[in-house]
Structure 1
Amino acid sequence: MNIEKRVTELVNEKIADMPNLFLVSATMHSNGKLIVLVDGDNGIGIADCVAVSRHVGFHLEEENLIDTPYNLEVSSPGIDTPLTLPRQYTKNIGRTLSIKMDDGTKREGKLLLAGDDSITIEETIKQKGKKAEIAEAVIPTDKIAETKVLISFK
């Protein structure tokens, strides 16, 4: 059985009674690190990560799925982790995003709306010799290569 697939099932089983939590990814690396990223609509606490880790770890041992030494890490995605799920975009409405488009161009703006197929940002458009304009732009998510939240320390 595929380890990542089984871990995904185990995480979803554990968080079924924690409706504000969701699985972002489960990745088995060649160095033996099994990294599970879980997030929450209102963030995620250490206790939640521990509960998911114990559940996954217990079942992996019980089912003897991994026959080599491994290290299970359950955490929330770091601030530098790109957004991948519609639910992550929704959670970040009001924040400024840096978006790399699939054609290599970059855009930046405040996230106003997040849907399943597109996001709406408010971006500042600067044209030489003119005053900067603020405009709303709808961006199809299938045209986005990578999105990161920009942190402001103002």
Structure 2
Amino acid sequence: MGESARRDRLVALLAPVVEAEGLDLEDVTVTPAGKRRLVRVVVDRDGGISLDDVSEVSRSVSERLDASDALGNSPYVLEVSSPGVDRPLTEPRHWRRARGRLVKAALTDGTEIEGRLAEADGEGVEIEAAGRFAYANLAKGKVQVEFKRLDDEDDDEDDVADGDEG
């Protein structure tokens, strides 16, 4: 069985298990790791996921894999995680989850746009200072990593009372 066919079979097997936990299955990969295989399952949902979510879905995915013959008799190591910030924005749900973030997107006509993602709905996205774009016109997008400058932090720390020398 080819890698593509194996991946498709694993997606079909695991998607209902992940969805039953209230999560979206974003990716499944299998890579050789010595005599074992490393099975990476990437899950997400609106609002993000917690360690408890990862633990629950990991248990459910492991039970489903053990009950099937999808991996044959070979031992495997299961890794369940959320997508990293470098995940490309390819689905409407990815764009929706990036609302408020700085994004850079390549358009199908070859131009690039960058700005804060103001809105993402079923039809497309609104990027501040760039405009509205239908998903059909977006080749791919990516969230840009932003580092907060120290002088941008809230001034709450300056509210400490003076003269409290104990």
> Normalized against structure 1, the TM-score is what?
0.75
Compute the displacement of 1:78 (Å). 0.4
Q: Deviations over 1:122-151 (max 9, x none)?
A: 13xxxxxxxxxxxx5112222323211112
Seen in structure 2, the aligned counterparts of structure 1 residues 143 and 70 have a Cα distance that, compared at 3 Å, is farther
Q: Where do 4+ consecutive residues of structure 1 move more than 4 Å?
A: none
Compute the displacement of 1:10 (Å). 4.4
Compute the displacement of 1:14 (Å). 3.0
Asked if 1:33 is matched to 2:35, the reply is no
- Higher fraction of strand: 1
Aligned length: 141
CA distance in 2, matches of 1:16, 1:120: 28
Asked if 1:146 is matched to 2:151, the reply is no
CA distance in 1, matches of 2:113, 2:123: 18
CA distance in 2, matches of 1:98, 1:16: 29
**Where do residues 45-64 of structure 1 align in structure 2 (5 Å cutoff)?**
45-64=50-69
Match of 1:116 in 2: 122
| AA matched with 1:142 | A
Stretch of structure 1 that moved more, 90-99 or 46-55: 46-55
Q: Deviations over 1:27-85 (max 9, x none)?
A: 33466432211112111012211222222222222212213444322110001111222
CA RMSD of aligned residues (A): 2.5
Match of 1:8 in 2: 11
| AA matched with 1:36 | V
CA distance in 2, matches of 1:144, 1:35: 28
The runs of 5 or more residues in structure 2 that have no matched partner are 149-166
| AA matched with 2:99 | I
- Higher fraction of helix: 2
Identical-pair percentage:
35
| AA matched with 1:90 | R
Seen in structure 2, the aligned counterparts of structure 1 residues 141 and 4 have a Cα distance that, compared at 3 Å, is same
Larger gyration radius, structure 1 or structure 2? 2
Stretch of structure 1 that moved more, 69-78 or 26-35: 26-35
| AA matched with 1:4 | R
Preserved contact between residue 27 and residue 42 of structure 2 (Cα < 8 Å): yes
CA distance in 2, matches of 1:56, 1:107: 39
CA distance in 2, matches of 1:22, 1:121: 25
Preserved contact between residue 18 and residue 61 of structure 2 (Cα < 8 Å): no
Structure showing greater relative contact order (alpha-carbon pairs closer than 8 Å, 6 or more residues apart): 1
| AA matched with 2:64 | H
